[in-house]
C-alpha cells in the first residue's frame, strides 16, 4: 500500500513537472508569436508608408508632366495662331517644345535613376505586396497569442486541480497555438 502511494506521488510529481515544462515551452512559443506579430505590424506600417510616399512622388511627376504638356500645347497654339511669327521666335518656341517633350518622356520612364512614373509604379506595388504579406501574417500571430495564453491558463489549472482533462484540452489548445505561430511565419494557410 505504501509502495502504491509512493509510486502514485512520484507519478503525480512527474506529471506536474511535465506540465510545467510544457507551460514553459508554450510561454516561449507565446513570446515568439508576440514578436512575430509585432514585427509583422511594424513591417506592414513601414511598407504602407513607403508605398504612400512612392505614390505621392508618382503623382508629383504626373502633375509636372501634365503641366509641361499644357505648356507645350500652348506654345504649339501660339505658333499655329501667329502666321506673322518670325522664324527666330518660331525656332525658339520649337526648341522649347522639344525640351518639354524630352522632360515629359523622362518623367514617364527613367530606368537609370528609377524615378520615372513607370518605375515608381512598380516600386509602389512592390511595397504594397510586402505590406499585404505582413497583413496576412498578423492575424495568425494574434490567434496564436490568444490560444497560447488560454493553453497556459488551462495547463496551470490542471496542475493546481490535478485535472487530467484540463491537461489534455490545454495541450490541444497549445498545439493549435503552435500551429498558428508557424503559419504566421510560413503562411501555409492564408
Over the chain (190 residues), what is each successive 10-residue block's mean pLDDT? 51 81 97 98 98 98 97 96 94 97 97 96 98 98 98 96 93 98 96
Q: d(Cα 173, Cα 163) in Å, to the nearest integer?
A: 16
pLDDT of residue 1: 58
Please list, in sequence order, all residues whose beta carbon lies within 8 angstroms of the beta carbon of residue 69, skipping any fewer than 6 positions away. 100, 104
* Number of neighbouring beta carbons within 10 Å of residue 26: 24
The answer to whether 190 and 167 have CB atoms below 8 angstroms apart is: no
Query: All 3 cell numbers of residue 133?
Result: 504579406
pLDDT of residue 12: 62
pLDDT of residue 13: 74
Phi-psi category of 65—alpha, beta or left, where left has phi over 0 and alpha has psi -120 to 50?
Answer: alpha
pLDDT of residue 10: 46
* Number of neighbouring beta carbons within 10 Å of residue 165: 10
Rounded to the nearest angstrom, the gap between the alpha carbon of residue 165 and the centroid of all alpha carbons in its chain is 39
**φ, ψ of residue 17 in degrees (nearest 5):** -65, -40
Q: d(Cα 9, Cα 109) in Å, to the nearest integer?
A: 77
User: At which residue does the C-alpha cell 517633350 appear?
Assistant: 101
pTM: 0.81
Please list, in sequence order, all residues whose beta carbon lies within 8 angstroms of the beta carbon of residue 24, skipping any fewer than 6 positions away. none
Rounded to the nearest angstrom, the gap between the alpha carbon of residue 170 and the centroid of all alpha carbons in its chain is 31
Q: How far is CA 61 from CA 72, 80, 117, 133, in A?
A: 16, 28, 7, 28
pLDDT of residue 190: 87
Q: What share of the chain is helix, strand, coil (3-state, %, to 5)?
A: 90, 0, 10
Amino acid at each position: 500500500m505504501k509502495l502504491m502511494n509512493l509510486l502514485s506521488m512520484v507519478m503525480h510529481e512527474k506529471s506536474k513537472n511535465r506540465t510545467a515544462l510544457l507551460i514553459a515551452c508554450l510561454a516561449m512559443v507565446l513570446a515568439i508569436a508576440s514578436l512575430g506579430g509585432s514585427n509583422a505590424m511594424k513591417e506592414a506600417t513601414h511598407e504602407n508608408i513607403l508605398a504612400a510616399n512612392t505614390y505621392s512622388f508618382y503623382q508629383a511627376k504626373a502633375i509636372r508632366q501634365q503641366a509641361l504638356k499644357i505648356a507645350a500645347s500652348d506654345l504649339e497654339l501660339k505658333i499655329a495662331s501667329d502666321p506673322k511669327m518670325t522664324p527666330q521666335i518660331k525656332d525658339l518656341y520649337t526648341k522649347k517644345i522639344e525640351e518639354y517633350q524630352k522632360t515629359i518622356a523622362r518623367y514617364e520612364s527613367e530606368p537609370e535613376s528609377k524615378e520615372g512614373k513607370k518605375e515608381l509604379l512598380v516600386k509602389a506595388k512592390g511595397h504594397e505586396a510586402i505590406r499585404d504579406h505582413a497583413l496576412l501574417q498578423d492575424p495568425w500571430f494574434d490567434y496564436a497569442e490568444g490560444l497560447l495564453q488560454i493553453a497556459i491558463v488551462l495547463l496551470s489549472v490542471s496542475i493546481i486541480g490535478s485535472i487530467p482533462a484540463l491537461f489534455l484540452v490545454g495541450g490541444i489548445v497549445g498545439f493549435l497555438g503552435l500551429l498558428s505561430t508557424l503559419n504566421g511565419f510560413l503562411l501555409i494557410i492564408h
